[in-house]
A and B are shown apart, each in its own frame.
Chain A
Amino acid sequence: MKKLYVLLAVCSFPVLGQAQTVSFTQQALGGNVPYNPCTVDMDGDHLDDVVAIGSNQLKVWKQLASGGFTLATYAVTGLGLGNATPDWSIAAGDFDGNGFTDLVLGNGSRVSLVKANTTGTGYALSTYPQNIFTQRTNFIDIDNDGNLDLWACHDVAQSHAYRNDGAGNLNFDISLMPTLAVGGNYASIWTDYNSDGHIDMYLAKCRSGAPVGDPQRINLLYKNNGDGTYTEVGAAAGVNDGAQSWSTAVEDFDNDGDMDMVLSNISDQNRFYVNNGDGTFTDMYASSGIAAQVGSWELQSADFNNDGFVDFLWENGKELYLNNGNGTFTGYDLPFGQGGIADLNNDGFLDVQVGSNIYMNNGNPNKWIKVTLQGVESNRNGIGARVEIEGTWGKQTREIRSGQGFSNMSTLNAHFGIGSATAIPVVRVVWPSGTVDEYLNVSTNSTLFVLEGSSPALGVNNPSATKFTISPNPAKDVINVTFANDTQLASAQIFDLTGRKVMDSAINVNQIGVKSLSNGAYVLLLTDVDGKTYSQKFIKE
């Protein structure tokens, strides 16, 4: 059964100048996703999958490169039973860096992990003993040591942090991120609000029955001091709202290079905080065109019509607000107001999965680009990375986040619409490590895979580049690797520029045969005996 929901959003943009249509076709998933949707790549092919927590099993509808899905079912004892359910939130991230995505389940009593094994053929459930009325969960490298930590908002007490010990374990440790020791913590969005290269965190807070001014309901902004500690600056930044916030969409809504915020509140009014670029924000809700209704607990953002401006979904009367690109938004009705947002048919338009349905975006003539990431110095998923594209539209910015909105998990790929533009002069990835990868003149309507530190414009800021050299480059039969120090290599992997792994071998001499490769550009990823990784690009001819 297919239902067609069409909404005509005929808008004109001075910059991008393309009339927009957004329509979705309801399509049966072929199963049901109970609890909160999770649409994320699970197996490292950078195609978004659909994840469902079943009883004693994990179900993954894996997106096929040829289109459609194949359902993989994994037995996981205890999953989906008792407190091992993502009834309040779900988030995804490869916290042990083995190439297969792990999950965190935010339950009303406990936090659980679903950890993929080294081959991605099985998953193990573990549940933390601490009581927590979990709200938003995130995988995020809180201390920027290259490993994903775990964050869990607590509704009725101080929120929880879990420190990654670098050996594949996340240990409960509030000292990693000691936030205000009161409840009311609903949604944490990890964002570099002041564009200083360090991840910060905005915390939406809500406490029913608490008076105006009660710290349990005043939103907080934790600014990264750059040394693994954070300072709360909500008041100074002008975002210490107290109107019972459930969720925040943090995006560069005006494409000026910094992050703005839309807040979904339960009392008084919502907010549209526009970033002033100096560490402060100004509420522009009154002139935003967004209706005054409050009471949505979800708020998720994405560019649904590929016009180059980020839109948002929520559950306040009009489910979809399209960004008009001039500081205003226009609301439209949809049969859904939230879900897992991802490109589930790999057509460059973002779709929404909820319950037993996928609302497949029918697309329009607008062009797009997707950027998929694999971290090396930084965490494997590139969570916390900032992806920018520059062109006739100016600049667009995305941040890779595990856990957006209040409860769902959307794609970890960066997606941009570019309207009718015909070229993408610059794609830039600023990694949590500080590495910058830059690609020039990238094709429209394409997916760019970026392995950290591998861009052609090497040396922009690539720690790996100072550690080893490749010769010859271009190479014909073999490449020789020379390290600046006495690094002992364990394995080498070679990827093509779409992210496909074309070689995977153990090595103990610093020479790698590449004769069998087709001519073209590749990325060499080296792992030493201590598990550290290094990467560079080379040309095979």
Chain B
Amino acid sequence: MKKNYLLLCFVAIILGAGIFISCNHDDNEDEYLPVSPVVLDVTQVPYAKLSDYHFFDGGELKELSPSYKVLPYRPASELFTDYAHKKRFVWMPQGTKATFNGNDNTLEFPVGAVLIKNFYYDDVLPDHTTKIIETRILIKKREPQYNDDGDEINSGWEPYVYIWNDEQTEAFLDTEQQGVFVPVSFMHNGQQKDAFYKIPADTECRTCHKINLNETLNGEIVIPVGVKPQNLNYVYDYGTSQRNQLEKWVAEGYLENNIPATILSTVDYNDTSKPLELRARSYMDINCAHCHRQGGHCDYVNVRFNFSNSDPETVGICATPLFNVDNLPYVINAGDAANSEIIHRISSTDGSVMMPFIGRSIVHEEGVQLMTDWINSMQNHCN
């Protein structure tokens, strides 16, 4: 049993989460300042069980009630994963923080930082139960390494997967790393969905989370995808308060306070009050741009789906597909979604046609509709 409270008494700290501890040299008794119970020794991870990390000591493990300093977050625009719900958390060692590295780049995290992503369904058939399937974590285990040209050749990030037991009492490290299929039927907006959910193999984690930004020999590195300022510049409901996540991270001591005043930001693509184009581009960013960007897994396809790309041609509008597909002359056929490659691919479940080709077994109907609406709304047709 680790000590959860560190004896410390040198300054008064007011913590935003409502914990107040006064500290006074004159007190007769030593006062205890709360510290995170999280256990994370980068030389020892990955641990065998999810509970070994003490990320969720706020209740039963399956409640995913975060321990002190385990901070929930959500990117404005979320990756579709067979309609699985997600609960994401970040934790960093005491006294360390992330730094800004551009609106559309992943924050630079300190060694020991961990990103935790739980995948679950809350209306699983036949009994309409909640089922947590897996918890994926990314741990920054070491400082990045660079080659002589200054190109990064190791980010220090490593991906691990913990698979929940049927009793939902524990999740165990996937040591096989071959991927595990979990057929799941669930209700989504009153409709039954049947997914052939896949807990990813190690190589699949790396396929989506890798980048070779400068196309360097041995330059493929693992990076987090969602934690970019453009996605975190978004209000999150922390339960006791609603706050912009970047501000919150700064307040928590998790982010250096040098964030630009203006950040070109994605939106929640489900939010119909937002402009259609922004929603669609946000959708493309989080679902497509980890591969379809410079140095990504689909780098050689000449489209760049990152939100910050302002060039219509490389966004795919009236762009000729690299791979010829019958009757689909353009990636995005402005005004004609039905004859757009991108709609063909996001509507497919054939592995060699579908996009994305990892992370889903069924079609994201709402996503297809969003992209269809956007493409059909375009006034300037191709040709």
Contacts and interface: CB of A to CB of B under 8 A. Distances in A.
A87 B351 contact: yes
A14 interface: no
Interface stretch (A126-134, A374-382, A392-400): A126-134
B203 A82 contact: no
With most chain B CB atoms within 10 A of its CB, the pick from A36, A133, A315, A407 is A133
B299 interface: yes
Nearest to B301: A208
A315 B321 CA distance: 12
Interface string A186-219: 0000000000000000000010111101100000
A208 B207 contact: no
A107 B294 CA distance: 27
B298 interface: yes
Contacts of A130: 178
A208 B297 contact: yes
B352 A407 contact: yes
Interface stretch (B38-46, B209-217, B278-286, B335-343): B209-217
Nearest to A212: B215
Contact of A267 (B179, B298, B300, B361): B300
A83 interface: yes
Given A82-B183, A88-B351, A266-B322, A209 B203 contact: no
A391 interface: no
Interface string B207-245: 100011001110110000000000000000000000000
A473 to B, nearest CB: 53
B300 A108 contact: no
Contacts of A83: 181, 196
Contacts of B352: 35-36, 87-88, 108, 407
B36 to A, nearest CB: 35
B300 A131 contact: no
Given A35-B350, A109-B201, A211-B216, A131 B207 contact: no
Nearest to B178: A131
B217 A214 contact: yes
Given A87-B351, A88-B352, A156 B215 contact: no
B295 interface: yes
Nearest to B202: A131
B376 interface: no
Contacts, number: 88
Contacts of B154: none
Given A34-B350, A88-B352, A208-B299, A156 B203 contact: yes
A210 B214 CA distance: 9
A431 interface: no
B351 A82 contact: no
B324 A209 contact: no
A209 B302 CA distance: 11
Given A208-B297, A208-B298, A315 B324 contact: yes
A156 B299 contact: no
B300 A244 contact: yes
A315 B196 contact: no
A97 interface: no
A210 B350 contact: no
Given A108-B351, A266-B322, A295-B323, A209 B177 contact: no
B178 A129 contact: yes
B352 to A, nearest CB: 5
B297 A209 contact: yes
A295 B301 CA distance: 9
B206 interface: yes
Nearest to B295: A209
B203 A131 contact: yes
Contacts of A85: 350-351
A109 B212 CA distance: 23
B216 to A, nearest CB: 6
A428 to B, nearest CB: 38
A506 interface: no
B211 A109 contact: no
With most chain A CB atoms within 10 A of its CB, the pick from B198, B294, B298 is B198
Contacts of B353: 87
Contact of A211 (B219, B301, B350, B357): B219
With most chain A CB atoms within 10 A of its CB, the pick from B298, B300, B301, B322 is B300
With most chain B CB atoms within 10 A of its CB, the pick from A83, A109, A157, A214 is A109
Contacts of A384: none
Interface string B23-39: 00000000000000000
A156 B206 contact: yes
Contact of A87 (B198, B207, B300, B350): B350
B296 interface: yes
Contacts of A93: none
Nearest to A211: B215
Nearest to B198: A109
A81 interface: yes
Nearest to A135: B352
A211 B206 contact: no
Interface in A287-313: 295-297
Contacts of B297: 208-209
A494 B178 CA distance: 48
Contacts of A407: 352
A56 to B, nearest CB: 14
B220 A209 contact: yes
B217 A213 contact: yes
Contacts of A208: 296-301
Nearest to B218: A214
Nearest to B212: A209
Interface string A124-163: 0000011101000000000000000000000011000000
Contacts of B361: 82
Contacts of A81: 196
Interface string B302-327: 00000000000000000000111000
A36 B207 CA distance: 24
25 contacts: A34-B350, A82-B181, A83-B181, A83-B196, A87-B350, A87-B352, A88-B352, A108-B351, A108-B358, A109-B181, A109-B198, A129-B178, A131-B177, A156-B203, A156-B207, A157-B203, A208-B301, A209-B212, A209-B300, A210-B215, A266-B300, A295-B322, A296-B323, A296-B324, A315-B323
Return the 10 tightest CB-CB contacts between A and B, nearest first: A87-B351, A131-B201, A209-B299, A108-B351, A131-B178, A315-B324, A208-B300, A211-B215, A82-B196, A208-B299
